[in-house]
Amino acid sequence: MTSLAENKKAGAKAGDVPALFARTDLGRRRERAERTAQAALSGMALLVIIPLALIIIYLIVEAWPLLSLDFLLESPRRGMREGGVWPALLGTVYLVLMSLAVAAPIGILAAVYLHEYADDSAFTRAVQLAVVNLAGVPSIVHALFGLGAFVVFAGIGRSILAASLTLAIMTLPVIIASTREALASVPRSFREACWNVGATRWQTIRHVVLPNSISGILTGVILQVSRAAGETAPVMFTGAVFYKAVRDGDLFAYGLLDQCMALSMHLFTVSTQVPDVPEALPYATAVVLLFTVLAVNAFAIALRVYLRSRKRW
């Protein structure tokens, strides 16, 4: 070890910076590695944004001639070659809301049971296994199951109800998983503090655990909207139709047991099944689908920020 004074002297002799602050080979190598790593990592991050930005820009540019409020609120005309997407947009909204109305309560309550009540028994392990495997089932298989179970066996027929139930089963495992994660984020010490003062399990959950995990739970549920809205196969088999006439802009055009149009299926139809469709029409449909989903996601983010701001630790 040389003292600072000696270093200075040595530095002065060499007519250089003080030895203490001089750059060494190791230092230079580390700096280079640091710069390389940062460049590589930020490059990867950029690569993630580029496709999304390109998709959005490309779709909007292609769809531009057709985009208008009328396109949203009108029914398709002339065998899908003109008009708008109102029945499909409305159908998608119905399907998504209905499926969440079924899947969210069941999923959340099941997750609360699994995380807060169940101990490690054969039964809970069986449920875990079922949840994991349900999440891995391809959507076309869900579609066939929905067709068999709801449409045919239960006798509901092809309808919004049957399609919603099929979508609900598809989104259920993810809702359960995300709810469990949200519950796990509440520290165990909070629960213990409640038990110690004689609160029951349910009181603890109701007054401390749920209020502090609700933001995570709701976000998980809402993010399933995009999945339910985007799936084509399950609704195609169980309730969505090629074309259905409804009044333009009518919010209550469908009943529970009616068949409906859906954006995802409509997009499939106009891009592959109908000849002589104006080029911008499929793109405009895609823009509507994409922005419906993005709007829901934005709502989820806003809700999360709001509930986080009320979080108390």
Based on the shown chain and the rule CB under 8 A, indicate whether residue 212 belongs to the binding site for other proteins: yes
Residue with smaller CB distance to other proteins, 7 or 203: 203
Looking at this protein, which amino acid is placed at residue 191?
A: R
Token pair listed for 191? 């629960």
Residue with smaller CB distance to other proteins, 14 or 193: 193
Question: Among 41, 52, 126, 193, which residue sits at the site for other proteins (rule: CB under 8 A)?
Answer: 193
248-253: long-range contacts, CB 8 A cutoff, minimum separation 24: 248/73, 248/74, 248/75, 248/84, 248/86, 249/73, 249/86, 250/90, 251/90, 253/87, 253/90
Question: Among 177, 208, 214, 303, which residue sits at the site for other proteins (rule: CB under 8 A)?
Answer: 208
Which residues in 115-134 contact other proteins (CB under 8 A)? 119-120
Based on the shown chain and the rule CB under 8 A, indicate whether residue 189 belongs to the binding site for other proteins: yes
Reduced to 3 states (helix: H, G, I; strand: E, B; else coil), residue 137 is coil
Reduced to 3 states (helix: H, G, I; strand: E, B; else coil), residue 85 is coil
Based on the shown chain and the rule CB under 8 A, indicate whether residue 279 belongs to the binding site for other proteins: no
Based on the shown chain and the rule CB under 8 A, indicate whether residue 182 belongs to the binding site for other proteins: no
Question: Among 123, 195, 242, 306, which residue sits at the site for other proteins (rule: CB under 8 A)?
Answer: 195
Q: Which of 206, 184, 272, 185 is nearest to 236 (CA)?
A: 272
Token pair listed for 311? 């979080």
Reduced to 3 states (helix: H, G, I; strand: E, B; else coil), residue 82 is strand
Question: Among 6, 192, 250, 279, which residue sits at the site for other proteins (rule: CB under 8 A)?
Answer: 192
Based on the shown chain and the rule CB under 8 A, indicate whether residue 184 belongs to the binding site for other proteins: no
CA distance 87 to 253: 8
Per-residue binding string, other proteins, 69-108, x by CB under 8 A, is ----------------------------------------
Which residues in 12-51 contact other proteins (CB under 8 A)? none
Cβ–Cβ under 8 Å, residues 254 and 160: yes
Residue with smaller CB distance to other proteins, 198 or 275: 198
Residue with smaller CB distance to other proteins, 42 or 200: 200
Cβ–Cβ under 8 Å, residues 116 and 183: yes
Based on the shown chain and the rule CB under 8 A, indicate whether residue 271 belongs to the binding site for other proteins: no
Cβ–Cβ under 8 Å, residues 56 and 223: no
Question: Among 32, 207, 247, 308, which residue sits at the site for other proteins (rule: CB under 8 A)?
Answer: 207
Query: Contact residues for other proteins (CB under 8 A)?
Result: 119-120, 189-200, 203, 207-208, 211-212, 311-313
